[in-house]
Structure 1
């Protein structure tokens, strides 16, 4: 079972949401986060002896938003940030954390803008409880998740344990930037998190 790399200081786990500083984009809800504080080391309970149907995500579909995007595996950079794709079309799975299907919080992140144009998670704010998110692996197996909650956090107040940590439910949490872009800190001021729960496997 995957576990978060709590041995690494997660000083800024949620990375920047824009591929470069935006100039003319309208105010967006999607952001990549920089959380400039460590999280308390907490190790989730092992699932030894429990049969778990897991999935290595390769493709993301969000029917309501018309999103169809490839998923790539990412970890942490040298500063403790969650790494993100260099382009605006791919979605990052935090591979050192939980795997979709496990009890715990698997995490996907994506950019809100890319070179002055909307990126893959630009419209993520439009999701509401009851909407569905579908993951598919390389062999065609699919997991369907349902949105439970949508929360925008101040940049420095995102609850890392809730977003990335253990849970008795099989969660998938989607992260991006939101709010306005602060040119003084070169970052968005808020982080948008969509909390979803596994409802179907096929």
Structure 2
């Protein structure tokens, strides 16, 4: 399977730093794919928060999408591990938990060989669309899309995407733009910024 990854040097990214809001950047037309996370980021201290969860399932009603979420950490090279298939969604488990203050991150492939993968239609999301997460006990968190931005491959604002925040953010990432055969990768990265708006406890 062809891996289309975004290399993000996350060295010390999750250290204590001022929270940043998503920056408005001109969005270009998009496709999608996945991401890779890099070198030995500083992991946030564990926090017990009312809203945080270990996600098991992602649901996006607008896209008629439901997919399993798997925990992924860092590989031996310090990059984010990713699913070896086009169906699973990767949660960067060493980072922030969905629902806690900070930027939790999910990543998914845009294609699996020549087939559409889990985040193939991520580009269709617009502000106001809902994202639902559910844990293994049935508790759910609801996030709403605030912004959708396409960044050049090497210009993604790492603190904005992965770093601390006073808001409870969930950011979905994939590749986009056209596929450059010279670099064997997509030229842009699509980030869908979402914010927690509702919390429901399972029965």
Structure 2 unmatched runs, 5+ = 1-8, 14-28
Give, in whole Å, the separation in 1 of the partners of 2:76 and 2:132. Answer: 31
Give, in whole Å, the separation in 2 of the partners of 1:181 and 1:170. Answer: 33
The equivalent of 2:114 in structure 1 is: 116
The equivalent of 1:6 in structure 2 is: none
Structure 1 unmatched runs, 5+ = 1-8, 14-26
Equivalent of 2:88, from 87, 90, 97?
90
Checking the alignment, whether the CA contact within 8 Å between 1:34 and 1:156 is kept in structure 2 is no
**TM-score scaled by structure 1?**
0.79
Give, in whole Å, the separation in 2 of the partners of 1:78 and 1:182. Answer: 27
Instruction: Quote the RMSD (CA, aligned, Å).
Output: 2.5
Find out whether 1:127 has 2:125 as its counterpart. Answer: yes
Tell me the matched-pair count: 176
Checking the alignment, whether the CA contact within 8 Å between 2:145 and 2:195 is kept in structure 1 is yes
Shift of 1:80: 2.6
Find out whether 1:10 has 2:10 as its counterpart. Answer: yes
Give, in whole Å, the separation in 1 of the partners of 2:195 and 2:107. Answer: 16
SS at match of 2:160: helix
Shift of 1:31: 2.6
SS at match of 1:10: coil
Shift of 1:32: 2.4
Find out whether 1:197 has 2:195 as its counterpart. Answer: yes
SS at match of 2:120: coil
Give, in whole Å, the separation in 1 of the partners of 2:76 and 2:185. Answer: 19
Which structure 1 residue ranges, 4+ long, deviate > 3 Å from structure 2?
Answer: 33-36, 41-44
Shift of 1:120: 0.4
**TM-score scaled by structure 2?**
0.79
The equivalent of 1:162 in structure 2 is: 160
SS at match of 1:156: coil
SS at match of 1:163: helix
